[in-house]
Structure 1
Amino acid sequence: MATSRLEINFVRLLSRCESLASEKRAETEWRLEKYVGALEEMFVALKKSPSKPTPETLTDYNRKVDFLKGLLEAEKLPSPAEKSLANQFLAPGRTPTISSERTPASKTVHIQSKARCAGEMRKELMSSGVSNSALLENDLRHRKSLPVDERQSAAELDQILQHHHNLQEKLADDMLNLARNLKNNTLAAQNIIKQDNQTLTQSMRQADVNFEKLKTESERLEQHAKKSVNWFLWLMLIVVSFTFISMILFIRLFPRLR
């Protein structure tokens, strides 16, 4: 089947979107979002077209459009950690968009996006580490310059903060133990269900065996009943025959008196 004009335009726009997604863009960049919106509308029209491509091709197109939409949504998240987590769930296309690509462009975009998120997380961690060190040093200098009463208040505040920190650690440990217990209970329930399934399977097998035995015994009983009926019929036939012959002999031996 020849490629329709709508599909050609869709592939061109898809290739352009993947090219823009691979570039480093400013926060005010609006073209990619508009292009992806138009791409989604073209994909809907392509699915309804009489000369639409094969279902496998449509599935790959849909995968690439969803990947670009998810990429834009991930870039709007506030923190690098959230962006990195969202990137982990993105699924790029599996085939090249145009024939000149050796590797699918969406896979390249996915790798670049994950690398950018990792770099942003690294910068954030380094900056937070430097700022925390500076704040701690300034706090120590400030405390040394405070009077004795204020130092004591600061020490009490530290104790309160330490107490809250210990409570948080205890709560985290309790949650971890709860998760472990839940996991153990789940595993135990799975084992019980597995054992019940095995017992049910054995019971069904035993029921099948008993059914076969019952069927065999029923057939034997039926055969025995048929034999009994046959013997009874033969016996009745012999009795009737004997009676008939006896009557004939009696008539022959003792003729009627005149």
Structure 2
Amino acid sequence: MAASRLELNLVRLLCRCEAMAAERRDPEEWRLDKYVGALEDMLQALRTQASRPAAEVLQEYARKVDFLRGLLQAEKLASSSEKALANQFLAPGRVPTTARERVPATRTVHLQTRARYAGEMRQELLGTDSAGERELEVRKRSGVAGPRPAAEKHSAAELDLALQRQQQLQEKLAEEMLGLARSLKTNTLAAQSVIKKDNQTLSHSLKMADQNLEKLKTESERLEQHAQKSVNWLLWAMLIVVCFIFISMILFIRIVPKLK
């Protein structure tokens, strides 16, 4: 069934919102929020439309719109850790919005925001560490005793642990992207193999259908000829029988009175 005008407009606006979400925006940017609100209204209208798409398609549209709304709400949080935590609970789309996309745009946006929030958390940690170093330097210059060596070792250990966690998070993100690429490649190859087999089966079926049609035409012609021959022989046999009966009756009529 062809897509309605409302569905086409929803897909276009959804692609625009996904492109805007993938870019770095100014905190005072308001257009994306308005666009997502318009998407929610269009999705609600599409659900009540008579020529609405399939339930799976509507569910995928709703999933992407909810992801964009959750992404906007996560950006309004105060700290990077809260943003990263909220971002982990978001569910991106499973199917590309347009045929040109090989990977769903919301999935790419999800990975980008996770990496950005991880980088912001790391910058916050490094910024705190830099402030501590500046404070230590001021204390040394002013002659004030700095922190004890045990405290310095504890701070360094905490910083190393935080950096190690961030590195593990980035490695996990890279592994997920690599796994996604491998899965996409595997699915593409599998789809190509299935399509190739289906094409071969369809070609074989068409060839067999053509052969059966030719055989059916040949047998029909033979049956028609046979039927015509049978009718001709039967007609001649009936004519011969009628003639024989007629001659027999004449002979019988002529012979019987003479016997009397």
Counterpart Cα distance in 2 of 1:50 and 1:71: 31
Q: Where in structure 2 are the equivalents of 1:155-166 lying within 5 Å?
A: none
Counterpart Cα distance in 2 of 1:140 and 1:65: 55
Equivalent residue, structure 2, for 1:66 = 66
Q: TM-score, normalised by structure 2?
A: 0.54
Equivalent residue, structure 1, for 2:115 = 115
CA shift for structure 1 position 134: 1.7
Alignment of 1:35 onto 2:1: no
Deviation string, structure 1 residues 130-189 (Cα, Å, up to 9, x no partner): 101222333455464xxxxxx9xxx9xx9xxx9xxxxxxxxxxxxxxxxxxxxxxxxxxx
Counterpart AA for 1:121: M
Equivalent residue, structure 2, for 1:98 = 98
Counterpart AA for 1:103: V
Equivalent residue, structure 1, for 2:81 = 81
Counterpart AA for 1:80: S
Percent identity of equivalent pairs: 57
Counterpart Cα distance in 1 of 2:78 and 2:142: 33
Counterpart AA for 2:78: P
Equivalent residue, structure 1, for 2:129 = 129
CA shift for structure 1 position 26: 1.1
Q: Unaligned stretches of 5+ in structure 1? A: 145-150, 163-258
Counterpart Cα distance in 2 of 1:121 and 1:94: 28
CA shift for structure 1 position 13: 0.5
SS in 1 for 2:120: helix
Alignment of 1:19 onto 2:19: yes
CA shift for structure 1 position 122: 1.2
RMSD: 2.1
Equivalent residue, structure 2, for 1:55 = 55
Counterpart Cα distance in 1 of 2:87 and 2:65: 15
Counterpart AA for 2:110: H
Counterpart Cα distance in 1 of 2:57 and 2:26: 32
Counterpart AA for 1:29: E
Deviation string, structure 1 residues 228-254 (Cα, Å, up to 9, x no partner): xxxxxxxxxxxxxxxxxxxxxxxxxxx
Counterpart Cα distance in 2 of 1:99 and 1:6: 18
Counterpart Cα distance in 2 of 1:143 and 1:88: 47
Q: Unaligned stretches of 5+ in structure 2? A: 152-260
Counterpart Cα distance in 2 of 1:141 and 1:108: 49
Counterpart Cα distance in 2 of 1:106 and 1:71: 10
Q: TM-score, normalised by structure 1?
A: 0.54
The structure with more radius of gyration: 1
SS in 2 for 1:70: helix
Deviation string, structure 1 residues 91-150 (Cα, Å, up to 9, x no partner): 000000011101000001111111111111111111100101222333455464xxxxxx
Structure 1 runs of 4+ with >6 Å offset: none
Counterpart Cα distance in 2 of 1:66 and 1:136: 47
Counterpart Cα distance in 1 of 2:90 and 2:4: 29
Q: Where in structure 2 are the equivalents of 1:181-196 lying within 5 Å?
A: none
